[in-house]
Structure 1
Amino acid sequence: MPSSHSSLALGLGIIGLEFAAAVTVFVSSTLLPVIAADLHARDRLGLLIAGSTLGMFVSMPLSGRAIRAFSATQVLGGGLVLSIGGTAMASLADGPVVFAVGRAIAGFASGLLAVFGLSAAIRHLSDDVRVRVIAATAAMWILPALVGPPITLGLNAIVGWRWTLLLPLPFVVVGRVLVARATRDDPGEQDIRHTSWNALLVPVGVGLMVVAADRPLAIVVGTVIALIGFAALVPRGTLRARVGAPAGVAALTLFGLGFFGADGLVTVLFTDGFGTDLRAAGLALSAAPLAWSLSTPLVPRLRTRGLLPSTALCLAVTGLCVLALAVAVATGAPYPLVILAWAVAGVGVGLAYPTLYLAASTPPEGTGATELAAAVITAESFGALLGGSAGSTVLTLTGLGHAARVQGLTIAYAGFGVVVLLAAVLATRLAPARPPTEQSA
């Protein structure tokens, strides 16, 4: 177990990398219309968006091999170089292909750094500290969500999108330095089980899903291919939801599918389903994420006092709230009640997520920390991607027009709610949490 100073540096480094990830998301999404126009790629938005996603998924099955083959300093240094190089390449791009390649390189680096940071946390931080770090990382999305878009637009007006795209890099550097300080004497895992090469089917399938996002058949084929790779990446017993980390990874996947799938359609839900303007839809969009970010920091204190509701109960509340959105759009419920339901869903997630993430990232016997870290990150991200693809496919199949769109949204949100409820069922199979007094410092 590292010293308290090393634990603090490691925790702050992980939080810093999460803040950098949040800044990257909001900067990239805010600049997307500007970049698409400047690169003459308005008809190739999928390519502009896909780069970072594909890079991250490619890094997952390769991270364990890299961490075993190189020292901590080399891994972190390589990740930093790739992050800077990929971002610089994207900022200098003269066309959408070069931009996408640069974003893919940066996405690969982001995935590598995330796996290294999480695996180090699994090996070196007690459960209590890890819960606090998880709670803090959720809070790191509040500030970028509130001020990220206006600051990004302001910088774009002053220096242009190419310089603005570099904004997240200082936070990546700070996070990397802190993690490096905490792990400089870390020998790493000497017995990492090599992930099957079948795991590389995940980025292959994901690539098909993202690039051909407007073709339902391609999405289905890509999903099947990615699931084969996913099965090779996750811990043994995940597909059977075996008690402990396997059930946690399975529940995290379903949570990502159901909640992030619902979150991805909120703007469409309010503009097309309830007939609001974009301003009102934007307010609704922030309700659940803001509630999540504000409620998660309460988890460590509630957990210490024995007052934290069970993960299954919190996820069940979230699932019921998502189902309520399906009923609301079908019946034309009042706008304030719908926002309230979505905010309560965020509270449920905020209280459930740290414990669920902790359970999913606690290695069962025979599973290395690095292997599990890659599986956990993939599970949540892959679930979210499946949710987004499922939602868009449902809306495509139900067609245009107000009545058809209401029908599609009702079906989509009903499905998302059921999936989150299934995640709640799997959460009953998590390993019992150890009382704080029984954990190592």
Structure 2
Amino acid sequence: MTHETPVRTAAAPGLLSPAYLWTTIGSITLIFLGAFESLAVTTIMPTISRELDGEALYSLAFSGTLAAGVVGMVVAGGWADRRGPSRPLVAAMTVFVVGLVLSGTATDMFVFIGGRLLQGLGSGAIIVALYVVVARIYPAPLHPRIFGAFAAAWVLPSLIGPPVAGVVADTISWHWVFLGVGVLVLIAAAAIVPALRQLRSMPAAPGEPGSRWAVVWAIVVAVAVVSIGLGGESGASWSWVIVAVAFVVVVLAVRPLLPRGTLVARPGLPATVLLRGAVAAAFFSTEVYLPYLLNEVYDLPSAVSGLILTVGALSWASGSALQSRFGARMSHSRTVRIGATIVFVGIVVQLLTALFLLSPFVAAAGWLLAGGGMGLVFPRISTLVLSHSTERDQGFNSAAMTIADSTASATSIAFAGLLLAAFGAVSGGGFVAAFALAAVLGLAAVPIAFRVRD
């Protein structure tokens, strides 16, 4: 009688295996710090604008940063395709830190805004460069997991960012919010050095030459995005004209920055990129005004109404973790279809809440759904974009995905703001109109999701 010794198969390497450990730590830390800085600024901006006498430039501190990010995405994407992601990532981190130092030492609002523009330029480039790092370093089966980790890296800042920033601003100075993040970015950069060395040792692939006009188009998009944001907040009678013209400019200028067929949802990569923009526009235009609804109509304190964002963030993280566990057992296309549908249902709940003045607990339940849907959709979209890319166009496609996200979100938020101003916030009619717009965008995302291909 013979006994066969069972053969043990080596476990597949994970994100924290020795080959990927420091790259994983550095990358997730950079995402975490970017999220922390973004949420912290939202908390302390009223203090900054009062101290620097810059109330008139309040919105520019946000819209300008978002717009500069579009330029950073395009520059980093083209650079990564031509030379690999190591150089653009180092340059992006440097620009981001310089922006933090500039804002952190500012004694004038214009200097502070200048620092914010550099932060946007650097953060936009960091995101795109990190996507290319993922494509070059990690094997495809790990992509859903690392992108799920990126999504989860936004959760902790949503919990601790606002209170920590508030405590630092109140007890020390708001300057140290920026300076402290700058120091931490340098530490994260040190953690990712091994990955940069590995990338530099890899043979260079001939990248796409790219369009010489790409950066010009990105600047045009950025200016139009700022115009949409400023027009949406002005509340003047001519705001609709400014936003409409700026919207047309965005659509025309963004076309060369996206894969061909994106705006008509051509199946495959174009539909995937468009889906990113559609779900982002629907979700974030709801998220911006949801605490406002609870505060203005339900008369809940800001601290309480803001908790609904924490609900969405935790749900997003849970959805991200769930999709990473699915792995190859559930196809990317099926996952994004389910996720997009859940996001739409969650936004419809907010519309019904505003329309019929339902309980805030109903709104929280709906936002729990919407956040979970985003957790399913976002990591798989990132994975799909890389799966449709080669080393020649990983940077361009990653940039296109984040550009679709940023421009669609900014545009939808501005239009929602115009609807809120037109129908009024006190009566609740403005929120109904704003959430109706978000629901239409969410509904449009569902058929787009069915044009996504693995």
Q: Which residue is 1:325 aligned to?
A: 350
Which structure 2 residues correspond to residues 163-312 of structure 1 after superposition, within 5 A? 163-184=176-197, 185-195=201-211, 196-197=213-214, 198-213=217-232, 214=234, 215-306=239-330, 310-312=335-337
Q: 2:446 aligns with which of 402, 415, 424?
A: 424
Per the TM alignment, residue 250 of structure 1 is displaced from its structure 2 partner at its CA by 0.5
- Rounded Cα–Cα distance in structure 2 between residues aligned with 1:55 and 1:306: 37
Per the TM alignment, residue 247 of structure 1 is displaced from its structure 2 partner at its CA by 0.8
Matched, 1:408 2:430: yes
Contact 1:267–1:278, Cα closer than 8 Å, also in 2: yes
Partner secondary structure for residue 327 of structure 1:
helix
Which structure 2 residues correspond to residues 23-422 of structure 1 after superposition, within 5 A? 23-67=36-80, 73-184=86-197, 185-195=201-211, 196-197=213-214, 198-213=217-232, 214=234, 215-306=239-330, 310-364=335-389, 368-399=393-424, 401-402=426-427, 406-422=428-444
Structure 1 residue identity aligned to 2:164: I
- Rounded Cα–Cα distance in structure 1 between residues aligned with 2:330 and 2:356: 40
The 1:70/1:301 distance shift into structure 2, 3 A limit, reads closer
- Rounded Cα–Cα distance in structure 2 between residues aligned with 1:382 and 1:356: 17
Structure 2 residue identity aligned to 1:359: L
- Rounded Cα–Cα distance in structure 2 between residues aligned with 1:276 and 1:246: 42
Contact 2:319–2:375, Cα closer than 8 Å, also in 1: yes
Per the TM alignment, residue 73 of structure 1 is displaced from its structure 2 partner at its CA by 4.9
Contact 1:205–1:225, Cα closer than 8 Å, also in 2: yes
Per the TM alignment, residue 354 of structure 1 is displaced from its structure 2 partner at its CA by 1.7
Which structure 2 residues correspond to residues 10-21 of structure 1 after superposition, within 5 A? 10-21=23-34
Question: Structure 1 stretches of 5 or more lacking a match?
Answer: 433-441
Per the TM alignment, residue 264 of structure 1 is displaced from its structure 2 partner at its CA by 0.8
The 1:7/1:245 distance shift into structure 2, 3 A limit, reads farther
Per the TM alignment, residue 284 of structure 1 is displaced from its structure 2 partner at its CA by 2.2
The 1:150/1:12 distance shift into structure 2, 3 A limit, reads same
Contact 1:83–1:107, Cα closer than 8 Å, also in 2: yes
Per the TM alignment, residue 11 of structure 1 is displaced from its structure 2 partner at its CA by 3.2
Q: Which residue is 1:439 aligned to?
A: none
Structure 1 residue identity aligned to 2:152: A
Alignment length (residue pairs): 428
TM-score, scaled relative to structure 1: 0.89
TM-score, scaled relative to structure 2: 0.87
- Rounded Cα–Cα distance in structure 2 between residues aligned with 1:243 and 1:124: 28
Structure 2 residue identity aligned to 1:281: S
Q: Which residue is 1:436 aligned to?
A: none
Structure 2 residue identity aligned to 1:206: V
Q: Which residue is 1:435 aligned to?
A: none
Per the TM alignment, residue 304 of structure 1 is displaced from its structure 2 partner at its CA by 4.5
Contact 1:47–1:97, Cα closer than 8 Å, also in 2: no
Per the TM alignment, residue 69 of structure 1 is displaced from its structure 2 partner at its CA by 6.4
RMSD: 2.5
Per the TM alignment, residue 365 of structure 1 is displaced from its structure 2 partner at its CA by 7.0
Contact 1:17–1:172, Cα closer than 8 Å, also in 2: yes
Partner secondary structure for residue 387 of structure 2:
coil
- Rounded Cα–Cα distance in structure 1 between residues aligned with 2:268 and 2:101: 42
Partner secondary structure for residue 265 of structure 1:
helix
- Rounded Cα–Cα distance in structure 1 between residues aligned with 2:408 and 2:269: 17
Contact 1:193–1:371, Cα closer than 8 Å, also in 2: no
